[in-house]
Amino acid sequence: MHRLTIVGTGMGDGETLTRQAERAIEEAEFLIGGRRLLAPYPDKPHLVLDRNLDQAVAYIADHAGNQRICVLVSGDTGFYSYASYLLSRLPQGVEADLVCGISSLQYLCSRFYLRYENMAAVSMHGRRGALLSTVSANLHTFVLTGGGFRAQDVCRLLWERGGGGLTVYIGERLGAADQRLLSGTADELRRLSFDDLTALVVENPLAGRAYPSEEGLCPPLLEEDRCADLTGGDMVLEMAARVRGEALCLTEQPEKVKERCRAWGRYNIEPVSREALPRPLDAVYAGEDQAELLLELLEANPRMRFTLTGWDRERCRDLARELEDRGISFRCFRRSRLNREFQEEDGLYIFCGGGIPQ
């Protein structure tokens, strides 16, 4: 079996390189890595990694038998690293040794005196919705920027969703001589410009605060659902807490929705107008005023899960007939409400449906 070493180089400045990593690089006969990480070793034969990941794998396949090859990765090998890509594509007959390094998460947290045992992490190379839902659910979210989405874009997105007052801790070119450390509100920092090589932490003091929604009224949601509250009300707060992406809120008053988001520390809510409502959707919450829109959405996705609540018996009966005619599966319940004197008031009709064909 031939061996290959993958080394986490810390911040790539030499200062944060472990002794073990230093030794592995010294003993290597050939280095593979990004230009920044190779810069301190100009005399070693090397291959510059850019978008040529396949070329690197091919080189390893051809030379691991007669050369000590060392692959340099930034930060640690186990944290959003090229190391995982390489490990999943190691040529036959080659085994890798990993040398761990100091990750950008550890380094940045130490600069700002932040603890990270409960910190969530997301990469902006992924979906932006994951950032907003993670921020909404966690006191601290560590964010790797890049892939065309820089620190100022993260701050702008938070600000757009009512999170302009959230504190953000930013580390640019960590470990380098021109390292920049800045903290401030998302609103302040969205106006600046940051390098691709930047990481940050968002602090949301209201994270995970439970919204006291009426039990059982939220349609069943899966993490990846495209969901919407058509009433423009508060059910969207509950939906946002359950999905991994974003929950849509149909409203003509986006500023009012933003205010609610701020009050509850939820930033993965997108106010949309009726015209901008995307189709198909996976799940919606509606009131009797949106019965017509609900039927329209069910045309785009007959398996869409929904809850509709209404007080008007006639309108609810019409809706039930319409759903039956269209072969949409549903159940209708009635739930009474207690007034302040604890007397029962009129019942609320609750339609739960979709998901499976009738």
Name which of 172, 127, 122 is nearest 142 in CA terms: 122
First-to-last C-alpha distance (Å) of the chain: 58
Please tell me whether residue 99 binds ligand SAM under the rule CB under 6 A: no
Instruction: Kindly tell me which of 137 and 197 has the beta carbon lying closer to ligand SAM.
Output: 197
Please tell me whether residue 204 binds ligand SAM under the rule CB under 6 A: no
DSSP strand pairing (328-338 vs 69-73): unpaired
Q: How far apart are CA 143 and CA 15, in angstroms?
A: 23
Residue nearest to ligand SAM (CB): 75
Q: How far apart are CA 72 and CA 31, in angstroms?
A: 7
Q: Out of 75, 162, 164, 353, point to the residue binding ligand SAM (CB under 6 A).
A: 75
CA 105 to chain centre: 17
Q: Out of 9, 103, 204, 251, point to the residue binding ligand SAM (CB under 6 A).
A: 103
Helical packing angle, 128-137 and 235-242, nearest 10° = 110
Please tell me whether residue 202 binds ligand SAM under the rule CB under 6 A: no
Name which of 140, 113, 121, 120 is nearest 205 in CA terms: 140
Please tell me whether residue 306 binds ligand SAM under the rule CB under 6 A: no
Per CB under 6 A, the segment of 68-76, 89-97, 111-119, 281-289 that binds ligand SAM is: 68-76
Q: Out of 4, 6, 7, 11, point to the residue binding ligand SAM (CB under 6 A).
A: 11
Q: How far apart are CA 157 and CA 150, in angstroms?
A: 11
Please tell me whether residue 169 binds ligand SAM under the rule CB under 6 A: no
Please tell me whether residue 198 binds ligand SAM under the rule CB under 6 A: yes
Please tell me whether residue 175 binds ligand SAM under the rule CB under 6 A: yes
Please tell me whether residue 163 binds ligand SAM under the rule CB under 6 A: no
Q: 247 forms bridges with which residues in the sheet? A: 227, 269
# residues near ligand SAM by CB under 6 A: 21
The token duo for 156 is 């702008």
Please tell me whether residue 152 binds ligand SAM under the rule CB under 6 A: no
Contact residues toward ligand SAM (CB under 6 A) are 11-12, 74-76, 79-81, 103-104, 144-146, 171, 173-175, 196-199
